[in-house]
Amino acid sequence: MSLVPLQPRHITRFDWKEAMTNPSSPAITAVDVHKSFGDNVVLDGLDLAVEQGSVFALLGPNGAGKTTIVRILATLLEADHGTIRVAGRDVRAEADAVRAAIGVTGQFSAVDGLLTGAENLALMADLHHLPRSAARGRIAELLERFELTEAADRIAMTYSGGMRRRLDLAMTLIGSPEVIFLDEPSTGLDPSSRRTVWEIVRSLADEGTTVFLTTQYLEEADRLADRVAILDRGRLVAEGSAQELKQRIPGGRIDVRFTDADAQLAGAAALGMPVSDHHSPSLQIPTDGNVATLRRVLRDLDEADVDVVDLAIHTPDLDDVFFALTGRGAHPQESRTEEEVHR
């Protein structure tokens, strides 16, 4: 266990033996993972691989199985079938070795409400068997980093949601884990706390920690993750960088709104396209987003002297990806969690 905190991991934890025998060992691999609760099939042949030092976002609506896979990867739950390795260790056969290498922040706050922030961190340091002196330094440093120094001696029950989450993350980090699991890290947080959590996640990745996070927020996956995978009905239906996923679907278009139906007809004629929308005086022109297309559209409309009320460029976001891949939108506002469903 590294006692030198917050050093770039690839320097402090370089294991040449492992590097020799297994040059590109991913931080997490899961092959053909199945898990059912009674008749309810939650994971149905899931495969995934997460590179060391990357941020991997698992995106899916409620009930897709996100929490279940996190719990399996974090040794809280056993899969019915499948091979899973985390930090190079088998989660079933070497659960304790896996536990030594991971940190988990669940969907539900895992802080001790009756202990102060500092005591919560001290508890974690004790359970990581850190020597007293090393623990003191590490605790002070984490309190500082997570802006909890002032609240350090207040019991955690009095903390706000954002403070609790920050303390939760700090507790997860005290043992300098190689792989961190964050189950919906920003659910229920206000925008400013969410930004803080995002900054922390990014800085962890910059230090070389592998981060596996689940989210129902497309923006969060887009913003944080090197790789995004979409989970639907127990399987990954897509995987790639956010950019790659966006390219896979034809979502880009220019929306032009006209004053009335006559202008709409004139505009369609000028652009040489049919009127498809008879309900509102607008046109949707497909585009890959380049400037030349936009310039051509504006020039054609200008030359035909058509009045344009409003123009918007719509680039595909992960919501479009999600819709294109699953035929359904993601509905983050539905707040029944998987946890509740499984109980």
Partner 1 sequence: MTATYALRDSTTMLRRDLLHLQRYPGLSLFPIFMPVVLLLLFVYVFGGTLGNGITVGGGRGAYINFLTPGMLLFTVAGAAQITAISVSKDMTEGIIARFKTMRIWRPAVLAGHVFSSLVLTLISLAVTIAVALAIGYDPAAGPVNWLAAVGVLVLLAVALIWLSVAFGLLAKSVETASNMPMFLILLTFLSSSFVPVASMPGALRWFAENQPFTPVTDTVRNLLAGQHFGGAGLKAIVWCLAITAASYLWARYLYNRRPAN
Instruction: Residue 65: name the closest of 240, 239, 233 by CA.
Output: 233
Q: How far is the CB of 157 from partner 1 (least distance, A)?
A: 9
The binder of partner 1 chosen from 54, 75, 282, 287 (CB under 8 A): 75
Which residue, chain included where needed, has tokens 């068997």?
Answer: 129
Q: Which stretch binds partner 1 (CB under 8 A): 5-13, 15-23, 118-126, 274-282?
A: 118-126
Report residue 74 as tokens: 């974090």
The binder of partner 1 chosen from 100, 140, 152, 325 (CB under 8 A): 100
x/- letters, 169..208, toward partner 1 (CB under 8 A): --xx--x---------------------------------
Asked if 115 touches partner 1 (CB under 8 A), the answer is: yes
Which amino acid is it at 156? A
Cβ atoms of 55 and 206 within 8 Å: the answer is no
Q: Which is nearer to partner 1, 56 or 258 (CB)?
A: 56
Asked if 110 touches partner 1 (CB under 8 A), the answer is: yes
Residues 316-335 that bind partner 1 (CB under 8 A): none
> Which bin fits 4, alpha (ψ -120 to 50), beta or left (φ > 0)?
beta
Q: How many CB atoms lie within 10 A of CB 131?
A: 9
Provide the 8-state DSSP code for 235. Answer: E
What is the C-alpha separation between 189 and 187, in angstroms, rounded? 6
The binder of partner 1 chosen from 31, 41, 49, 76 (CB under 8 A): 76
Q: Which is nearer to partner 1, 125 or 321 (CB)?
A: 125
Which amino acid is it at 107? Q
- DSSP per-residue codes, 109-130: --S-TTSBHHHHHHHHHHHTT-
Q: How far is the CB of 322 from partner 1 (least distance, A)?
A: 28
Name the residues that contact partner 1, by CB under 8 A: 71, 74-77, 96-97, 99-100, 102-104, 106, 108-115, 119, 123, 126-129, 155, 171-172, 175, 339
